Amino acid sequence: MEPYGEMFSLKGKISLVTGGSRGIGLGCALALARSGSDLCIVSRSADQLKEAADRISEASGHRVFTVCADLTRLEEVERVYQATLAEYGRVDILLYAAGTNIRKPFLEITPAEFDLIMSLNLRSVHFLSQMVAKGMIEQGEGGRILLICSISSHMGLKNASAYASSKGGVFSLAKAMAVELADHRINVNSISPGYFRTAMTEHRFKDPEQIKWMTDRIPLKRTGLPEDIGGAAVFLASPASAYLTGVNIYVDGGWTAA
């Protein structure tokens, strides 16, 4: 039996990380690279991609390929996957962290806003995962698919009806994929972060009352940072989690346990 350190190694693996230029996606990408994986990271911003790629390469010494794309468009989803194959020839790990939110009351969300959230947070997750899974089946060596959900997948939060709907869909999608892809040795799991300080949530951290509201509900008495999520990502991407599929890990400081 190999040493436990080796069980967490991703040496020789290729990871495709969407939303990998900032926030939770960047935290996961850094952790995967430090554990031995080469990467393709995807974002809408070319400048953010370059900055993130330089940071990951400097921190890990591993190769980082970037693709600038709008994943709300399915033709762009296909382009991302094909570009990754052209660069590396394979994908062993997919980590889907790209996402968006429009914080509005349920009674005010418009159809256009709902469709935008769903197109990035759920539809593109489904079809990029489908493409990657087909490639993994052709490779014949199994693989790992990790989907970023949210605690809003599991509990009611104000001003998040469309976002929660999309992330609840991702939570259910991970379980359905886990069952269907198990015969091909493709493990599919999800991670549900709690409140993390990222560019998407920064506005909430400018309000002391919002910070107090969050920390009062978190047993560890602090909100998350992008680096807090990397350990869960590495575990689920590595041989150490070989017998886990269809599982969701809460990375929320204890919020959902309280």
| Gap between the Cα atoms of 112 and 74, Å rounded | 17
pLDDT digits (tens, 9 = 90+) for 216-237: 999 999 999 888 999 999 999 9
Q: How many domains would you assign to the chain? A: 1
pLDDT of the residue at 179:
98
**How far, in Å, are 23, 26, 86, 154 from residue 43 at the CA level?**
11, 10, 18, 27
Number of Cβ within 10 Å of residue 206's Cβ equals 8
Q: Which two tokens stand for residue 96?
A: 């889907």
pLDDT of the residue at 258:
81
| Gap between the Cα atoms of 97 and 107, Å rounded | 27
In DSSP terms, which residues pair with 192 in a beta bridge? Answer: 250
Q: Is-contact 192 153, C-beta < 8 A?
A: yes
| Catalytic site residue from 81, 163, 195, 250 | 163
pLDDT digits (tens, 9 = 90+) for 175-204: 999 999 999 999 999 999 998 887 777 777
Please give the residue range of the domain that contains residue 90: 4-257
pLDDT of the residue at 198:
77
Q: Cα torsion at 67, 72, 78, 83 (round to 10°)? A: 0
The CATH number assigned to the domain holding 165 equals: 3.40.50.720
| Gap between the Cα atoms of 159 and 157, Å rounded | 7
* 96 carries an active-site annotation: no
pLDDT of the residue at 4:
65
In DSSP terms, which residues pair with 196 in a beta bridge? Answer: 224
Q: Which two tokens stand for residue 134?
A: 């087909």
| Distance in Å from the first CA to the final CA of the chain | 37
| Gap between the Cα atoms of 241 and 66, Å rounded | 27
Size (the chain), residues: 258
| Gap between the Cα atoms of 43 and 48, Å rounded | 8
Candidates 75, 71, 95; CA nearest to 13 is 95
Q: Is-contact 199 22, C-beta < 8 A?
A: yes
Residue percentage of the chain with pLDDT more than 90: 83
In three-state secondary structure terms, 221 is coil
pLDDT digits (tens, 9 = 90+) for 145-171: 999 999 988 888 888 899 999 999 999
Q: Is-contact 189 246, C-beta < 8 A?
A: yes
| Gap between the Cα atoms of 117 and 203, Å rounded | 19
